[in-house]
Amino acid sequence: MKEEKKFVRGNTLVKEEDGSKLKEKAILVALKEKRPRKISSSWTTEDSLEELANLTKTAGGKVVAKVVQTRAGVDSTFYVGKGKAAEIANLVKELGADVVIFDDDLAPSQQRNLEEIMEVKVLDRTQLILDIFAQRARSSEGKIQVELAQLTYLLPRLRGKGVILSRLGGGIGTRGPGETKLEVDRRRIKERIGRLKEKLKEIEQQRDILRRKRKRNSWPVVAIIGYTNAGKSTLLNALTNAQVKVDDKLFATLDPVTRKLTLPNQESILLTDTVGFINKLPHHLIAAFRATLREIEEADLLVNVLDASHSKLEEENRATYSVLKELKVDDKPVINVLNKIDLVKNGYRLSRLRRNLDADVAISALYGDGLDALLDKIAQVLEGERVLVELLLPYHKSDLLALIHREGKVLSKEYLENEVAVRARISPQLANKLIDYRKRNN
């Protein structure tokens, strides 16, 4: 019989057998209510549990069992009821599981009660997502946002003077940048949260300066958005040779990446890859990552990338638009793009998806198919968002000329005796503001 060795590497318990690393064994648990809640009603419990399994694999775990409990509603003490919790506890021992992960958020008291009865780590969906974020964060901003979200989530889960993180002290749900010892008190966490918020505020101010510089260059900002793992980074690489790391995992990109791109009409734009959305994305996570998601808020146009090969594409798209509504940017112009068409063999399905999702363009970012059509569409939409104006600006109104440079695109300038003749493309709002300076043809 092979000898199994156990040792601690960093903060993660690693099991090894003849040098081969074994993953943490996870049991997944979901609750199917007899009267389903309206939120995410288009997703079945099984669909959501399958996505939780993918998240677990992305975090480095191995799913050894899935448990679905059907009951009238959530149990306030054990979430799934005491009897089912005891049944899962037996399953933990039988399968040698290291962690039990629930598909919804748990109240602090529910989590403590479940850990006591199961005697292993108990995590919920938010903690799992945060663990993935902790692994993915590369920039200082990303790391600060992850730590802030983790500590904010941890604060109400303190018990006495200690912290319930893990009985093993490592693994899924316990990783994070800037992590200190487990026994940290509430006061120190609050102080740390305050310092992180200050750091984030400084970074946001720096980003605001960069955004103002972008506007002075009159370059429209186009944000690539969409469900996680839809192919957003692959698209950015294909269009700009950005060389962003691409991985077939959920949340492969956490930090936004921006590159300059020249459209077929020779107009320059800034193209930004953003963090992917997901079903049941908690409100407090959106709030914690407001600085990153600000790239979407500041964009002139959104390119919504959709995985045409995914069986739950339409549900994923609804989840994406739900987050856009949460961010209050659902009124921005959007181009829906069907990606991964190389994986769709059924032409009728592709036609139906294009029709149902109002997708103007179908592409394969991996193989470069349809990219020219996408660039043409981006140029067309941006052109349609601006109006062509001819203005006569008095010399003492140089601030207006600077405003046009900052917010629009100046096509030509001619310095006359008492004024400057300007031909430009600007937003309808700015055009209305400058209506008194419109050149009137005789």
Cα 305–chain centre separation? 13
**What is the C-alpha to C-alpha distance for residues 22 and 14, in angstroms, rounded to an integer?**
7
Quickly list DSSP for 164-186: -S-SSS-STT---TT---S---H
User: Looking up tokens 């921005």, which residue turns up?
Assistant: 332
Known binding positions for Mg(2+): 233, 253
Known binding positions: 226-233, 251-255, 273-276, 339-342, 364-366
**Helix (H), strand (E) counts: the chain:** 14, 18
Q: CA nearest 132: which of 199, 53, 187, 56?
A: 56
In the three-class reduction of DSSP (H, G, I as helix; E, B as strand; rest coil), residue 419 is classed as strand
Instruction: Let me know: does 305 contact 232? Beta carbons within 8 Å.
Output: yes
Known binding positions for GTP: 226-233, 251-255, 273-276, 339-342, 364-366
**What is the C-alpha to C-alpha distance for residues 198 and 193, in angstroms, rounded to an integer?**
9
Residue 91, judged by CB atoms within 10 A of its CB (0-12, 13-18, 19+), counts as middle
Instruction: Let me know: does 361 contact 381? Beta carbons within 8 Å.
Output: no
In the three-class reduction of DSSP (H, G, I as helix; E, B as strand; rest coil), residue 26 is classed as strand
CA distances (Å), origin 164, targets 86, 220, 356, 408: 20, 47, 47, 54
Task: Say what angle helices 232-240 and 371-384 make with each other, to 10 degrees.
Answer: 90
Instruction: Let me know: does 302 contact 295? Beta carbons within 8 Å.
Output: no
